[in-house]
Amino acid sequence: DAMVIQNPRYQVTQFGKPVTLSCSQTLNHNVMYWYQQKSSQAPKLLFHYYDKDFNNEADTPDNFQSRRPNTSFCFLDIRSPGLGDAAMYLCATSRGDIPSSYEQYFGPGTRLTVT
């Protein structure tokens, strides 16, 4: 089945120790998104890639970076995690044309704990 896969599902890192979360998709979608979701809150968009074009949200901290080496994979790098970065990180994909781009397919998420 076509899907969005996130690894690992649970990640524990130490304060200040860089961490990378990964996302892969078999949907061949143009757009890949990274969201941060804290407990009982709506997902907050961090950035997205439209093909190779990177689009950062204005309020995304510099501590968060992303890489998309090919269509299928996208990575979220947190350079120096703080306690406030503990959250669920969701990857999503969509086709690139409007309105299909609004129909986003989400992965199961990675729960990040910072100790």
Among 43, 74, 76, 87, binds another protein (CB under 8 A): 43
CB 56 within 8 A of CB 81: no
CB 78 within 8 A of CB 85: yes
Residue 11 interacts with another protein (CB under 8 A): yes or no: no
Residue 68 interacts with another protein (CB under 8 A): yes or no: no
Q: Give the residue among 3, 30, 4 at the shortest CA–CA distance from 90.
A: 4
Alpha-carbon distance of 14 to 39, in angstroms, equals: 20
Token pair belonging to 99: 């309105």
Residue 27 interacts with another protein (CB under 8 A): yes or no: no
At its nearest, how many Å lie between another protein and the CB of residue 107? 5
Strands 10-13 and 110-114: parallel
Residue 102 interacts with another protein (CB under 8 A): yes or no: yes
Among 65, 71, 75, 108, binds another protein (CB under 8 A): 108
Chain residues in the site for another protein (CB under 8 A) = 4, 6, 31, 40-43, 45, 48, 50, 55, 88, 90, 92, 94, 96, 98-99, 101-109, 111
